[in-house]
A and B are shown apart, each in its own frame.
Chain A
Amino acid sequence: MKKKNLFLHTPPGTKPLYMEEALLRNTIERKLCSYFERWSYQPVEPPMIDYFDIYTPFLTERQQKGSIRFVDRDGNLVLLRNDITLFAAKALAVRMGSRSSDEKFKYYYCGQIMRSREKDAPEEYYQIGCEIVSKQFTHEEFEILCLLLESAKYLGVPDFRLHIGDISFYNALLKDCSERTEILTAIRKCDLPLLHELVNNAELSDEIKNDLLLSAHFIGNTNELKALKLSSSGKKALEPLLHLVSSLEKAGYGDYMTIDLSELPDLDYYNGIVFNVYAAGAEMPLVSGGRYDLLFKELGQEKSAVGFSYWLYPLEKVLHDKLELDNCGENVKISKSNFVDDFQKAIKEITAGKKVQLNYE
């Protein structure tokens, strides 16, 4: 870099947005946030930094390595926000404190995070999400999925589909299995040769082995899932997922969703449904989410929690030519001789709620 340009150098991974890019992001953010508010979700703004040690139990080794950490003045290791869901959950747990409350929290957030995508340099990402946290759930999972699917429709996301799985199904099958982690990883990676090897060598009943091998690669609808020849205990473990998806199908969302039993999280705090939204033209999911009571348990709160986050980078990729960006207003001419009057006219228009574009003579 030339010496005179050195002061402009930019750290790898930062993503400044200019003009149309920033406008697209702002439009998406405004649309989503106002939509979430219509459902009476309250905004929260988690901090940008927090103590690293709080989050270590919730981050995979890869996430820990890919996070940005530094030492503060007092020698504490501090983490730059790398997942808003986590930071928001911790902020909420602090607010709850030791009170035993039946209060239900429904909140949304938006903001940047820094994390490394695989082995590349850390990158700036932007998340917008919604969460419900309360003592007990009735139809909250149904609500959050309706909200997700409706918000995607409202945004005009083209050709998208929600893939939903359920970690509690595998937890029920593998509750006493010492190879649980390896088996779940093989299912998540759709590595069937490895899965066969692991399942065949594991100390599991033939019934469970059969259930695992039948379900691990299942992608389909409720009828196809019902037709799988699972054991009675396997079928019982799938009942909550089937009930939820059947209700969503009944509500008219059948064309937007698929049961996918290979959808599994790489994080340990999920304990129920897990889902991602995919759309044509995006090489990564637009949305990730699930049920994560165990996170709150680790944070000292016996709560049920479910939520989702939009990832703005892939979302912008699929929406960049779909959203109408209202950038320019009506032209208002500002003359040389009478500019004060012209300005006053323009200001009147703006005050009346119009959008204007000032053009100097």
Chain B
Amino acid sequence: MEEKKIITIAVPKGRLQEQIAEYLAVRGVTIKEESRKLDYYDEKNGYRFLFVKNSDVPVYVNYGVADLGFSGSDVVYEGDFEFLHLARLPFGGTKICVAGYEKDRPLFEQNGLERNFIKPIKIATKFTRFTNHYFEERGIPVQIIKLTGSVELAPILGLAHFIVDLVETGSTLRENNLAVIEEIGRTHVKLIANPSLYRQNYRKIDDFVSKLQG
């Protein structure tokens, strides 16, 4: 099978894009973001970078628009698509935590540790699949409410007792008088590949992975 000359890589827009661009620049691969342009073509290396919303990276890779994508393991897990996980990047990792008011900690502990299900817990989160799986595995009944942004508002406005969210420094939580109740997972940035497209271009993709790890 003739290998393609160009491989397409989906990159999440925002802070992670800057970190990835910086990391690749040291390894001889340039990503330039020209204003309002949605892609960048590195002619020298034969890479086309697509700048897409973080949560859409798995979708572009799954449907074969991009051969590869940089994505957080949390986003990959939520997408529930079948990918190859070719590399992990040494930055962008963070914690997934249950957070809420300190006064509600006993409610979480009663349900979780003492298995005293007096009052069902309500949890607001973007990560519904992960949260569902976490509590289901432990046999703790919870009601999960899906939110897509400003998750911290949920306990403040009484929508949910707790939230499950990514926590880096914890400053947003503190500003809203919330605290980490329990760390329940870790995320890291991965290079994912569409399994079929990888097999069609594995030499060129392996070469990109080597550059990434170099």
- Residues of A at under 8 Å CB distance from B? 62, 118-119, 159-161, 163, 189-194, 219, 260, 276, 278-280, 282-285
Contacts and interface: CB of A to CB of B under 8 A. Distances in A.
Interface residues of B, number: 24
A278 B196 contact: yes
Contacts of A159: 1-2
26 contacts: A118-B62, A118-B79, A118-B82, A119-B79, A119-B81, A189-B84, A190-B84, A190-B86, A190-B198, A191-B86, A192-B86, A192-B87, A193-B88, A219-B199, A260-B199, A276-B196, A276-B199, A279-B1, A279-B200, A280-B200, A282-B196, A283-B63, A283-B64, A283-B197, A284-B64, A284-B196
B79 A278 contact: no
A178 to B, nearest CB: 19
Interface string B56-91: 000000111000000000000001111111111000
Interface of B: 1-2, 4, 62-64, 79-88, 193-194, 196-200, 202
Nearest to B80: A119
Contacts, number: 58
A105 to B, nearest CB: 31
Contact of B85 (A161, A194, A278, A284): A194
Contacts of A161: 1, 199-200
Contacts of B81: 118-119
Contacts of A194: 85
Contact of A193 (B4, B80, B83, B87): B87
A285 B197 CA distance: 9
A279 B196 CA distance: 8
Given A118-B62, A161-B1, A283-B64, A278 B84 contact: no
Contacts of B200: 161, 278-280
A160 B196 contact: no
B79 A280 contact: no
Contacts of A283: 62-64, 194, 196-197
